[in-house]
Copies of this chain bind each other. A is one copy, B any other.
Amino acid sequence: MEGDMALIYGVTFFSVVMALAFALWLHLWVKRQPVKNPVIREVSGLIKAGANTFMRKEYRVLAVFAGVAAVLLVLFLPTPLWRTQNAWRNLAMAVSYLAGTAFSAIAGKMGIIVATSSNGRAAEAAQKGIKPAFLIGFRGGAVMGLTVVGISLFGVAAVLLAFGDTAISLGFSFGASSLALFAKAGGGIFTKTADVSADLTGKVELGIPEDDPRNPAVIADNVGDVAGMGADLFDSNVAAMTSALVIASSLEASTGANTAMVFMYAALGLIASIIGIATARIGKGGSPTRALNASTYVTSGAFVALTALATLLIEGFSWRIWGASAVGLLVGVIIGITTDYFTDDSKPIVQRVAHASRTGSAFTILSGVSYGFISALPAMIGIAVSALAAYQICAPLGESYALFGIAMAAVGMLSIVGMIISNDAYGPIVDNARGLAEMGDLGENTIRVADELDSAGNTVKAVTKGFAIGAAGLTVISLLGAYLSEANAALMEAGRAVLTGFDIMDPVVFFGVLIGAAVPAVFSAMLILGVDKNAQRMVAEIHRQFQEIRGLREGKPGVRPEYDRCIDIATAGALRELIPAGLMAIIATLIVGFIGGPGAIGGFLLGNIVSGLLLSLFMSNAGGLWDNAKKYIEAGHEGGKGSDAHKAAVVGDTVGDPFKDTAGPSINTQITVVSLVASLMSSLFVAFSLFG
């Protein structure tokens, strides 16, 4: 396998180089497109400056956090410094952790570069029609997708190659996801503070259009879209690969083939994404939604075919593992499609919620909450079935291979993550483009084109989100497996009996389950309250500006609102609120671990996964549903814009905004972080716990 391993690393780095080269080419292509309108140039510059300022301030806070965490890692992990013979290993852990945070920060920064170089160009291209504007949005998104996945694969491979120790790889993953947790929370609070305040004061109170330049919050809103898109799936992808690597390395009689397989599949996923992006086409006047979905399917097909070829050619690769990863991908696609059913406005659910809005906003909320809950069921079944199927397929290879099968199902589901991130990044770009078209006064027709592109972004987002949550679900199951191997290694070292599993009839485990289940609820509540409090401040500021700045309300030429004040409020609030929620989740893990020991943590992770999946599916889908119900009414149904139904739907959308863009997507990362903390701390929980 030695020679093969070199080949595998070769393929891995080759795919990374290819992805980055292709991303660079796409980026230069985007930059070559013209942007002439002076207003658009100016506003796009304002957005860029605002986003950079926010991110600089945010990362300054997070750098302090990461520094403190790195010091703690050197002191305590993997073994407390005063009990270890190998202090270098602790240092390696801290270095690996810091590398993870740095990679995550780069991914966030990439988001701003990509979005601010594409948004204005897409707006101008929209004057010429859907096709050229779509291509700019799509290629801009692809730059993001390819870069993020490329560097994450590079990072995981480089850390394993450098330290040759999967426990240290967990540190890298922890760095990536802990930074992503805070960045998502901060970005999510920023963006929704601005969005909600802009909508409430603009659309509802004053009756001015979305993105109207008179609205003081309009720039902050656009900044938020860009700053929030950062490292959305970066951490899941790293976590999926890392947990697969940990399980692979724990397999008895491992020939290295399993580790090789993880890298090979990830590399082929990246190549499949390149194929999907390169072949994406939209006909003249064609549907952008269809184009985005088609490229997802092309990528999926390419992945299945390429991995089959690799399994055929490379000795030691098992067809059963290939089957598990194919099942994972298939279920991911199915989850995406069912999610689409609940959030697409051409399907009955959205229309029912829109219809219920006629009776008042209470019914918008009640029906949206209900369908949001129901929408969680297909995805939960999908995750349950794919885990069971992956397990059954791989169990004949040997006991621990079954768990490896689940991990590879997650890797399979996330294999096309490059494509997913591309589609996801497309959304904010065209959302921004729509705002710029409005502010640059490009005319009704251009705004209509931008609207269509934006709406496609919303629809596709639902599919990619379903996908992301499904993948996170499988990943955390394999992280639970990774935790079990880490805990057992620690127990063996301590000369104690290993855990065969976590029995829910054991009250220590049960104790963990109940507390773990409450954590995602409290976590999301803290984030939503952050938005809620912050938006109240910003609404007050907007009211002040409309009262004090003469001529603003009437749109007198030359009169501009003080955009900066709104950006400052969103920034200050986001910085204040981003740390507590994430810290609460980490501290809850430590408390449960030091009270109940490794068994309680197993239960804690289970409870956390289960309620986290349920709540994130509920929140993401209900939010998307309300957003599209509002858009459906705005398109002229149920009384159209300005009707009572529309007002009710705006309330639904406002509630849904922090659900789907602040709390929902952050829960995934919260689960990942907590699982990694558990794995990293397992030896300490074994050594020091009250009931363990």
Contacts and interface: CB of A to CB of B under 8 A. Distances in A.
Interface of A: 196, 200, 204, 356, 359-363, 365-367, 369-374, 376-377, 380-381, 383-385, 387-388, 391-392, 402-403, 406, 477, 480-481, 484, 500-511, 513-515, 517-518, 521-522, 524-526, 528-529, 531-532, 535-536, 539, 602-603, 606-607, 610-611, 613-614, 618, 651, 654-655, 658, 691
Given A366-B532, A384-B515, 12 more contacts: A356-B536, A363-B536, A376-B521, A377-B518, A381-B518, A384-B514, A385-B511, A480-B505, A504-B504, A504-B509, A504-B606, A517-B611
Nearest to A372: B525
Query: Number of copies of this chain in the oligomer?
Result: 2
A370 B484 contact: no
Nearest to A506: B501
Nearest to A403: B505
A367 B196 CA distance: 14
Contact of A518 (B363, B480, B602, B614): B614
A513 B539 CA distance: 43
Contact of A610 (B361, B366, B517): B517
A154 to B, nearest CB: 32
Given A359-B539, A528-B369, A514 B402 contact: no
A517 B376 CA distance: 10
Given A511-B388, A611-B611, A370 B506 contact: no
Contacts of A367: 529, 532
A532 B353 CA distance: 11
Given A361-B651, A500-B503, A380 B517 contact: yes
Given A508-B388, A511-B384, A602-B504, A524 B614 contact: no
A188 to B, nearest CB: 14
14 contacts: A361-B361, A366-B531, A376-B521, A380-B514, A380-B515, A381-B514, A381-B515, A384-B514, A402-B507, A403-B505, A477-B510, A504-B504, A607-B610, A611-B611
A374 B588 CA distance: 14
Given A477-B510, A501-B505, A611-B610, A370 B654 contact: no
B525 A371 contact: yes
Contact of A359 (B365, B526, B536): B536
A599 to B, nearest CB: 11
A55 to B, nearest CB: 26
Contacts of A371: 525, 529
B504 A387 contact: no
